[in-house]
Amino acid sequence: MKVVAFNGSPKKEGNTWHALNIVCEQLEAKGIETEIVHLGNRGIKACLACGKCRENKDEKCIIKGDDVNVWIQKMKDADGVLLGSPVHFASLSANMKSFLDRAFYVSGSNGNLFRHKVGASIAAVRRSGGLPTFNEMNNYLNYSEMMLPTANYWNVIHGTVPGDVHQDEEGVQIMRILGKNMAYLLELMEYGKGKVQAPEQETKNWTSFIR
């Protein structure tokens, strides 16, 4: 099994990376392969809402010049997805937002590529805004019928300079428990294949409130 993690921080090995690494250590302890992709310092264009991914149905975004399509396939091929972002003005980073908008739009337009994968998100913050950032990333996971493991608190960890998060004992415990629970859920999903029938995927109903 494999989990691909996305680091939305401009700092390659800042506190977001440290937090992701704590989770990944628990996954690797259970024999689950992990990969951390650093996208926070990349030039990622925002979604154009052109609808071409829905029209073409080729599992690709038509925007060129970045690796979003490569990352979409990494997510499709993985058993689990881990999202990590710093907090910028009480929200997720701009690059993470652009990536998630495009990746999940492509997924939803191509039969829901990430459905029933195990997904989790974490936020690294200096002071405030961690919870809204955590919730923003969870919106993508929930929309896609992904399976979300939990911890013993919300997945937020605190620190200022790189490495500070290791002094947040509660935050470290949250990340550690999240990693253990994510590994547990991945194992349950894997062992359930062929034994427990997954619910049939329903066609999305669209309701307009403008009459």
- 127-178 residue pLDDT tens: 999 999 999 999 999 999 999 999 999 999 999 999 999 999 999 999 999 9
**pLDDT of res. 62:** 97
CATH superfamily, domain at 2-192: Flavodoxin domain (3.40.50.360)
What CA–CA distance (Å, rounded) separates 54 from 204?
14
pLDDT reading at 118 higher than 90: yes
pLDDT reading at 188 higher than 80: yes
What token pair was written down for 77? 């091929």
| pTM (predicted TM-score) | 0.96
Q: Which residues contact 99 (CB under 8 A, 6 or more apart)?
A: 6, 8, 39, 44, 68, 71
The H-or-E segment that residue 180 falls in is helix 169-192
**pLDDT of res. 206:** 87
**pLDDT of res. 144:** 97
SS (H, E, C) 97-108: HHHHHHHHHHHH
**pLDDT of res. 210:** 86
pLDDT reading at 74 higher than 90: yes
3-state DSSP call for residue 120?
A: strand
Give the C-alpha distances (Å, rounded to integers) separating 122 from 5, 7, 43, 59.
10, 10, 22, 26
Quickly state the pLDDT bin for 93 (edges 50, 70, 90).
very high
* Average of per-residue pLDDT across 74-92: 98
Query: What is the Cα 69 distance to its own chain's centre?
Result: 15
Beta bridge partners of 35: 4
pLDDT reading at 211 higher than 80: no
What CA–CA distance (Å, rounded) separates 15 from 33?
21
**pLDDT of res. 19:** 98
Q: What percent of the chain lies above the pLDDT cut of 70?
A: 100
* Average of per-residue pLDDT across 49-67: 96
**pLDDT of res. 68:** 98
Of the listed ranges 88-92, 145-149, 206-210, the least confidently predicted one is 206-210
What CA–CA distance (Å, rounded) separates 34 from 80?
9
What token pair was written down for 112? 């829901």
Q: Which residues contact 12 (CB under 8 A, 6 or more apart)?
A: 38, 40, 41
* Average of per-residue pLDDT across 100-120: 97
**pLDDT of res. 27:** 98
What CA–CA distance (Å, rounded) separates 47 from 27?
32
- The length of the chain in residues reads 211
- Asked whether 15 and 163 are in contact (CB, 8 A), the reply is yes
Quickly state the pLDDT bin for 193 (edges 50, 70, 90).
very high
What CA–CA distance (Å, rounded) separates 42 from 16?
16
Residue 182 φ/ψ, nearest 5 degrees = -65, -45
